[in-house]
Chains A and B, each alone.
Chain A
Amino acid sequence: MRIQIGEKRAVVTFKYFLITVFAILTLLPIILVVVGGFKTLAQLRLDLFGIPNPVMWSNYLDIIDPNSSMFFLNLLNSCLVMLMTVVLGLILSSLAGFALSRIQFKGKELVFTFFLIGLLFPPAVAILPLYIELKTLNLLNNYLGVVLPQVAFALPFQIMLTRSFFNHIPIELEESAYLDNCSPFGFLIHIVMPLSKPILTTVAMLAMVTSWNNYFLPLLVFNDEKLFTLPMGVMSFQGQYLNDWSLVLAFISLAMIPAIIFYLIAQKYIIDGLTGGAVKQ
C-alpha cells in the first residue's frame, strides 16, 4: 500500500494514532463486559480492568445449561422470528414493488402514496390498538403476532427500495420476456428478482437487524417465557440477577455473540445492504 502523495509520514502516523484510540474506546466497553463475565463478583467489584482470576467458566456454563437458563430458547425464538420476518418481507415487498413499478393501472400513484404514509409513523404510535387487534385475531403468544406487524411496519420503506430498483430494470428484458410468453409473475421470479440481488440483500439486512433487536413488540405479544426473544431474555435475566453482575455480563456477552459472528461472516453484505439502500438510489 502506497502512502498518499503529499502526505507526510507524521500526518499518517497521527491519523493512525487517532483512529486507533477511537477504535479502542469503541471496543473497550464490549471487551470489559465479555471479560467481566469470567470474573467472580468480588473481583468484578474491585478490579474492572484486570484479567479474570480465577476464571469463572461456570458463569458462562450456567447460562448455556438449558436447565438453568433460557438462553438457547431465547436464541432460537429470535432466529425464528427473524427468519419469518425476512422471508415474508422479501416476498411482499417484491410483489408490491413490482406491481408499483412495472404494471400500469389506475390508482397506481395513489396506492404508492398510501404505502408511503406508513413511513411517517413510529410503530409505538399504534402499539395499543395493535395489541387489542392482535388479541382479537388470536395472535398473542404466537410468532405471527410479532412477525406480521414487523413486516407491515417495514413494508413502506422496503417497497420504496424495491420499486425504485425495479424501475431501473431495462425495458428490453421485459420485452423479450413478453415475447417469450412469460407472465408478469414469471418475469418477476425468473428475471427481476435474480437481477435485484443487491436491493433484496438490503431489504433482508434491514429486516434482520430490526427484527433481531426488537424489544417493544415481543414484550407485549409474548407472555410465555418459552417464546421470549433474546432482548427480552436479557431484560428478564437482568431483572432476575440484578445483584449478580458477573452472571448478567456473561448472559449479555453470549447474547452478543450470534450477532457478532454473523456480522463478521457477512460483514460485506450487511454494510453494503444497509448503505446500499440509502446511497445508491
Chain B
Amino acid sequence: MKNKPTKTGYFSKGFFSKNSLTAFCFLIVPLAVYTIFVIYPILQAVWFSMFKWNGLGPMNNFIGVDNFFKIFSDPVFRIAIGNNFKIVFLSLFFQLPLALFIALIIARKFRGAVVYRAIFFLPYILSEVIAGVLWSFIYNPQYGIQNTALTDIIPFLADFPFLSSPSTVFYSIFFVMIWKYFGLHMVLYIAGLQNIPQEIEEAARLDGVNWWQMNRYIILPLLKPTIYLSVFFSIVGSFQTFDIVWAMGKGEPVHAAETMVTYMYKFGFQRFQLGYGSAVAIVIFIITLGVGMFYQKITASKDI
C-alpha cells in the first residue's frame, strides 16, 4: 500500500494549474459528501461535548471538560469500557484461534472445503439485528434450547440464565459474536493461506516436519500479515459493537452487557444529555485511535 509506482504519471505533465483543476473536478463531489456527512457532524460533536445540554433548548451551559470527568467517574461507563476490552481479548484468544484452526484444516486439499467455507461464513452475511433476534429465541427460557431434551444431556443448561442474569449475559452475547464473525476471519486466513506457495509446504514435508511444526514454524510466520490485519479488524470492530447487543436485551440487565456505544446512545440520547453523549463519543474515538496506534506500533516493530 505504501509503494507509489507512478511518481509522475503522464497526466501530471503540463501545467500545474491544469492538474490542480483536473484533480479538483475529480475530487469535489467525494470531498463534499465526505465533509458534509462525516467531518462536519464530528466537529459539531466535539463542540457539543463541552456543554451541559439536553439537546432541546439553547446550548448555553458551557462546562468545559466536566463531562469527561463525569464519564470516567461513572461505574456504568467502566463496565462498558471493560466489556469492550473483554471483547477484544476474548476475540484474540478464542475467536481468532478458532478461525485460524479451521482455516488451517480446510484451506488445503480438503474435500468439500467450499461447502464448509460457505457454511462457516453464512452467519456473517446475516444482519446483526436478525442474528440478535434469532439468538434471543434460542436463549429464550420458554421456547429455546433450555426447553428441550438437551438439558438431560447437558444438565447445567437447564438453569443457565443466558440473557437474564448479569453474570452470564455478556458471555452469552459474546458467544453469538463468535458465531457471527469467526467465519469472516476464517475466510481472511484462507485467502492468506492460499497466497503461500505450495512448494514451501511440499519441501518442508519432504524434510519430514510434522503437522504442528509445519504450521507453527512455516505457515504461521508467512501468515503474519493476514493475522495482523484480522486482529486489527477485530479490535476496531470490537470498539464499535452496538446492534447485536441492542437486539439482545439492550445491554441489560443492570448494564452488565453495556458497551461504549450502547452506553453513549443510552446515557446521551435517551436520557437527554446530549453534551454528555457527545463527550462519550469523543472518548470512544480517542480510545479507538490510541489502541489502533499502539497496535500499529507493536506490529511494525515486529518485522512483518
Contacts and interface: CB of A to CB of B under 8 A. Distances in A.
Judge: A and B partners, yes or no. Answer: yes
Interface of A: 1-2, 4-7, 11, 15, 18-19, 22-23, 26-27, 29-30, 32-33, 36, 44-49, 92-93, 95-96, 98-106, 108, 111, 115, 117-118, 120-122, 124-130, 132-133, 148-149, 151-153, 155-156, 159-160, 164, 167-169, 171, 174-175, 177-178, 184-185, 187, 209, 212-213, 215-216, 230-231, 234-235, 238, 245, 248-249, 252, 255-256, 259-260, 263-264, 267, 270-272, 274-276, 278-281
B37 A152 contact: yes
16 contacts: A30-B126, A96-B30, A103-B12, A118-B34, A122-B281, A126-B45, A129-B42, A155-B38, A167-B4, A213-B128, A213-B243, A249-B137, A259-B126, A260-B122, A260-B125, A271-B117
A106 B123 contact: no
Contact of A26 (B44, B123, B128, B188): B123
Q: How large is the interface on B (under 10, 10 to 19, 20 to 34, 35 or more residues)?
A: 35 or more
A57 to B, nearest CB: 20
A111 to B, nearest CB: 7
Contacts of A11: 211
Interface string B259-283: 0010011001100001001100110
B30 A159 contact: yes
A263 B1 contact: no
B130 A5 contact: no
A167 B5 CA distance: 6
A125 B192 CA distance: 33
B92 interface: no
A102 B22 CA distance: 11
Contact of A212 (B36, B44, B127): B127
A45 B143 contact: yes
A155 B32 CA distance: 11
Interface in B38-73: 38-42, 44-45, 48, 55
B29 interface: yes
B27 interface: yes
State the main secondary structure of chain A at its contact with B: helix
A106 to B, nearest CB: 6
A212 B143 CA distance: 29
B143 A93 contact: no
Nearest to B241: A122
Contacts of A100: 27
B58 to A, nearest CB: 14
Contacts of B190: 275
A227 to B, nearest CB: 17
A175 B140 CA distance: 65
State the main secondary structure of chain B at its contact with A: helix
Nearest to A118: B38
Contact of A270 (B30, B125, B242): B125
B222 interface: no
Contacts of A36: 137
A178 B44 CA distance: 44
Contact of B27 (A19, A49, A95): A95
A102 B6 contact: yes
B11 A187 contact: yes
B31 interface: yes
Given A23-B119, A92-B30, 6 more contacts: A15-B110, A19-B105, A30-B123, A152-B34, A171-B5, A230-B127
B226 to A, nearest CB: 6
Contacts of A160: 1
A141 to B, nearest CB: 17
Nearest to B214: A6
Contact of A245 (B5, B143, B285): B143
Most buried by B among A98, A102, A212: A102
Contact of A171 (B9, B27, B120, B226): B9
Contacts of A259: 125-127
B200 interface: no
Given A5-B205, A234-B130, A248-B137, A129 B5 contact: no
B26 interface: yes
A145 to B, nearest CB: 10
B192 A1 contact: no
Q: Ordered nearest first, which 4 A-B pairs have the shortest CB separation?
A: A104-B12, A152-B37, A126-B41, A213-B127
A48 B38 contact: no
Contacts of A96: 26-27, 30-31
A47 B149 CA distance: 9
B26 A274 contact: no
Contact of B281 (A6, A15, A124, A248): A124
B10 A177 contact: yes
Interface string B123-139: 10111111001110110
